[in-house]
Amino acid sequence: MVTSPSPQQSVRLEDYRPFPFRIPKTELDVVIQDDAVLVTADLHLEPVQDSSEPLRLQGVDLALISLAVDGQPLAADAYSLSGDALQIHATPHQPFTVTTVCKLDPAANGSLEGLYASGGMLTTQCEAEGFRRITFHPDRPDVLSCFRVRIEADRERYPVLLSNGNAVAAGPVPESPTRHAVVWEDPFPKPSYLFALVAGDLKEIRDHFTTASGRRVTLRLHVEAGDEPYTAHAMESLKRSMAWDEQIYGLEYDLDEFNTVAVRHFNMGAMENKSLNIFNSKLVLADAETATDGELERIESVVAHEYFHNWSGNRITCRDWFQLSLKEGLTVFRDQCFTADLHCAALKRIEDAAMLRNTQFREDAGPTAHPVKPDAYQAIDNFYTTTIYEKGAELIRMLQTLLGDARFMRGMRLYFQRHDGEAATTEDFVAAILEGATEDGSSLNFEPEQFKRWYHQAGTPHVSVDRQWEPTEGRLTLTFRQSTAPTPGQPDKLPVVIPVLWSVLNAEGRAGDERLLVLDQAQQSVVLEGLAKTPQPPVLSLFRNFSAPVTWTADQGDDDLFALFAEDTDAFARWDAGQQLWKRLLLARASGADASSLEMRMLDAVSQLLSPAGEQDPAVLATLLAFPGLAELEALQDEADPPALFEASCALRELFGSQLADALRQRLASSAESLQAHWPAGQGERQLTALIWSWLAAAGDEEVRDAALAAVSGPSMTLARAALRALQPIDCAQRLQALQVFHDRWQDRPVIFDTWFALEASTPRPDALARVEVLLQHPRFDPMAPNSVRAVLGGLVGNPSVFHALDGSGYLFMARQIIAVDGRNPITASRMAKVFSRWHTYGPQRKAAVQQALAVLAEADLSTNTREVVTLMQA
């Protein structure tokens, strides 16, 4: 029996060596029995250049029943089995076949990796290293193979049997009439992490898509009985994705069928297995009554993301896991563009920037900071991060900004043509983009090797901008400086290539011509001549469209920011100016400083936006009025104080709600008619209504509180959740009633009921920690479902006064829960452990409390995944 490996040494990029064998064909026979699964694997191998190296295969929690080479059983001294490896000492010098028969127990597999039981079905998750829990295999992304898979099972218990590719045969098992088998063949070589298998009693929703070349592709979505009515949105999202990829990239789907399965027990959001995408149920099952506008857009985006992987991840995969962003960063970029094209590009860009600032920038500033292309890891699962995904996408967007759309797309076409069917690297990607961009003889405006530093340097660059204004000459000199703070293992940073899109507001407050500065030195200056000869320097609009994933400071006073907030033609720059003003107000309140004059100016600015002559688009208005995230605010404090920031946010909402009540009620009335419009229509009005409810409810408006309570029973999940969020910070009768109504309405729908767990855990109340303990014992809480665990414990983290209590009770509670989760699901536990990553920014008392919690974690018997995270945080 091969068991889970002991803690391992770091895997290093510099140690990469190609696998000494090719495996052009893999045949699997998977026999599902009542209490176990038997997997017979035929690996058809070819030595690379007459390699004389032994054959080393990986395996975890497998019982090896038999082992043969070219049909001949191996003698005991011809192989060794230890730890997580099966080694065959000597192999033929010509092509040969290794056959293994393994027995595994999916019901006992709580890791949610490999083949495991989820409810009444069996399913797989093989990325990153789950295939080794199914059979012995190299299980590395640079070993590509064509798979033929036979699945056999009891027909009544497992009527649906799915794997990758096309179904080429199906029927009863002759010697056992109660059993049946299906054979799947995938003609495209793929790494083992893209293998998938699902067996269960599932209901099928079927549709089709006709490709640009006229091929008819069958689309099948498989869900548990009763979930069929909630699949239409996901199916339509898939068809939109397929059409978009053809229109924008010229990439068609390449098989006869495409299957999607919804699974409740799933560590990730979804998985792009070739032609058999497996999704967390939360990202499939939805309509306007059961999902918010944001969730509907998120589902559309994730469905697109996994489909786009068919080319950017599957047809071209990554050579090794250090190249993870090759597929994930690129596919995030593609799904962001898809959403921008289908909806509002400006608001999508703001949404992505806000997400990056509140998650990835925080990661960059903490002990788990790592480059987009790491150079070492202990557990690769720990690197499925916003740095790999979202920051990786920003690197590609910077290439697009630097090259322009036409040249960038030439490079993308070359990349897909050149590397189809290969396991590639980030260097391959950048080389193809730049070669395609310059194929017409044009030159680059940046140094490629310097740009690549973005892949290897961790941390968020900071840019400072100084103005020197000569009013009598109308001359403006701008000095840009870039620097990046030290990160673990990287004390010294070199300048990177930073595209700065910027403009100058003219005397009428409108932005002039947009300019691109390629900032590639530690310090650069730009001189503008012939500007209007005014006493005050012109207002700068910086990093328009969020042209680089950096932070910046400029000598912009309140007057400059209010001018940008009111007039800037770039949606991101306008929003960013407002965010800077909101930050100044919130930080002042949190520290007890007097900001009354700034508050009066902001009240006046918001009043103008709310007026009939103000901002007309409700979605834009709601976005401009939304407060910055607490993570962003914490990063700006000398000593981060999350409870003080939370109280400041509540107080500011109350102030603006009371001072602007009449204007807010008028906007509510004007939005009312569109509130029940079908998504995507009406989402701006619902977004604005949610914000106004939160302000007026905080200000004590009983009519709004009652309207919010009524919305919890209404037909729109968007409004129901908006109502709950508006009432949540307020200790009022409507809050208690609303939570109970939501509980009673959705307790039989686990995908939705997890929202109630999160709301309850994050509601500020004196007994909140005890309440979380009760939630963990709730009969509807499923400790084996990552969604449920994240809902309760993530809700606690989102309850600042409780999680960050000065006595350390919240930190210790979380540490003990992480230990418990780690025993059954290391991936979920290691990701949860990162909630402590900002401890060094807290005051002395909280620092000591977090260190105590980390010590409790360090003393526990942890998985490799969680041990790696805890060690980094203690360093």
Q: Are 349 and 571 in contact (CB under 8 A)?
A: yes
Backbone angles phi, psi at 200, to 5 degrees: 175, 180
Question: How are strands ordered across the β-sheet holding 160-163?
Answer: 114-118, 121-125, 197-200, 160-163
- The residue written with tokens 């945080």 in the block is 873
- The residue written with tokens 């080479």 in the block is 69
Give the number of other Cβ atoms within 10 Å of residue 16's Cβ: 15
> What is the Cα–Cα distance from 496 to 361, expressed in whole angstroms?
17
Question: Among 716, 710, 718, which Cα is nearest to 691's?
Answer: 718
Backbone angles phi, psi at 278, to 5 degrees: -110, 130
- The residue written with tokens 């007097």 in the block is 594
Verify whether residue 156 is a known catalytic residue. no
Task: Please name the residue ranges forming H helices in 470-617.
Answer: 558-567, 571-591, 596-610
Question: Among 412, 404, 451, 461, which Cα is nearest to 432's?
Answer: 412
Catalytic one of 127, 152, 224, 306? 306
Question: Among 455, 368, 388, 393, which Cα is nearest to 830's?
Answer: 368
Backbone angles phi, psi at 96, to 5 degrees: -150, 170
Give the number of other Cβ atoms within 10 Å of residue 508's Cβ: 7
> What is the Cα–Cα distance from 476 to 465, expressed in whole angstroms?
12
Give the number of other Cβ atoms within 10 Å of residue 852's Cβ: 13
Angle subtended by helix axes 293-308 and 717-727, to nearest 10: 120
Question: Among 549, 584, 579, 586, which Cα is nearest to 564's?
Answer: 579
Torsion of CA 161, 163, 166, 172, to 10 degrees: -30
Task: Please name the residue ranges forming H helices in 274-404.
Answer: 293-308, 324-342, 345-355, 361-364, 392-403
DSSP code for 382: G
What secondary structure does DSSP assign to 198-230, as a single string?
EEE--EEEEEEEE-TTS-EEEEEEEE-TT-GGG
Q: Are 297 and 339 in contact (CB under 8 A)?
A: yes
Task: Please name the residue ranges forming H helices in 486-595.
Answer: 558-567, 571-591
Task: Name the residue type at position 795.
Answer: G
> What is the Cα–Cα distance from 563 to 394, expressed in whole angstroms?
28
Task: Name the residue type at position 83.
Answer: G
Question: Among 545, 585, 540, which Cα is nearest to 559's?
Answer: 540
Q: Are 518 and 445 in contact (CB under 8 A)?
A: yes
Q: Over 146-192, what HEC string results?
A: EEEEEEEEECCCCCEEEECCEEEEEEEECCEEEEEEEEEEEEEEECH
> What is the Cα–Cα distance from 359 to 631, expressed in whole angstroms?
7
573-599 burial, b at 16+ Cβ within 10 Å, e below that, comes to bbbbbbbbbbebbbbbbbeeeebeeeb
Residues in Cβ contact with 678 at an 8 Å cutoff, skipping those fewer than 6 apart: 288
Residue 128: is the preceding peptide bond cis (ω within 30°)? yes
Bridge-based pairing of strands 121-125 and 114-118 is: antiparallel
Q: Are 601 and 592 in contact (CB under 8 A)?
A: no
Active site residues: 306
